[in-house]
Amino acid sequence: MFSGNAIVLVLLIPFFTAIALALLQGRPRLEKALSLASAVGLTAYVFGLTGYVDANGIQVTMLGGYAAPFGIAFVADRLACIMLCASMTVGTVVLLYASYTVSETQQRSFFFPLFHVVLLGVNWSFITGDLFNLFVAYEVMLIGSYGAMMVGASRQQVRQTMMYVAVNLVGGSLFVVGVALVYALAGTLNLADLAVKTAGMVGPRAAMFTAASMVLLLVFALKAAAFPLFSWLPDSYPVVPAGVNGYFAGVLTKVGVYSLLRVFVMAFRQDGSQVAADVLLLLSGFTMLLGVLGALCQWEMRRLLSWHIISQVGYMVMGIGLAADPRIAVAAVAATIYYVVHNIVVKSSLFLVAGVAEEVTGRIRLKEMGGVLTLAPFAAVLFFVAGFSIAGMPPFSGFLAKLSVFRVALDGRHFLVLSVAVITSFLTLMSMMKIWGYVFWGKPRASSGSRAWYGPAAATAVLIVVTIVLGVGGQPFVRLMVDAAADVVQPTAYVRAVLGDGVASLAALEGAQP
Partner 1 sequence: MELPLALAIGLMFAGAVYSFLRPNLIRMVVGFGLLSNATNLLMIAAGGFTLEGLAPFVSDANEVAGLMDPLPPDIVLTAIVISFAVGALFLTMCYAVYRDYGTDDPEELPPPVADDETYRPRRARRPGYEE
Binding site for partner 1 (CB under 8 A): 101, 103, 132, 135-136, 139, 142-143, 146, 150, 152-163, 165-166, 169-170, 172-174, 176-177, 179-181, 183-184, 189, 235, 238-239, 241, 300, 303, 358-359, 362-365, 443-450, 452
For residue 140, the Cα-to-chain-centroid distance in whole angstroms is 16
Minimum distance from residue 187 beta carbon to partner 1 (Å) = 9
In terms of CB distance, is 301 or 329 closer to partner 1? 301
Minimum distance from residue 431 beta carbon to partner 1 (Å) = 18
Minimum distance from residue 33 beta carbon to partner 1 (Å) = 20
Distance CA 58, CA 56 (A): 7
Q: How far are the Cα atoms of 3, 56, 134, 290, 337 from residue 77, in angstroms, in the given order?
A: 12, 10, 16, 34, 13
CB neighbourhood size of 163 (10 A): 13
In terms of CB distance, is 129 or 392 closer to partner 1? 129
Distance CA 114, CA 431 (A): 33
- Cβ atoms of residues 212 and 182 within 8 Å: yes
Minimum distance from residue 491 beta carbon to partner 1 (Å) = 23
In terms of CB distance, is 47 or 441 closer to partner 1? 441
Minimum distance from residue 67 beta carbon to partner 1 (Å) = 14
Minimum distance from residue 360 beta carbon to partner 1 (Å) = 9
- Cβ atoms of residues 286 and 508 within 8 Å: no
DSSP labels, 178-238 = HHHHHHHHHS--BHHHHHHHHHT--HHHHHHHHHHHHHHHHHHHHHHT-TTS-THHHHHGG
In terms of CB distance, is 177 or 512 closer to partner 1? 177
In terms of CB distance, is 25 or 450 closer to partner 1? 450
Q: Which of 464, 487, 400 is nearest to 80 (CA)?
A: 487
Q: Which of 224, 256, 237, 248 is nearest to 97 (CA)?
A: 248
Minimum distance from residue 208 beta carbon to partner 1 (Å) = 12
In terms of CB distance, is 440 or 477 closer to partner 1? 440
Distance CA 377, CA 145 (A): 33
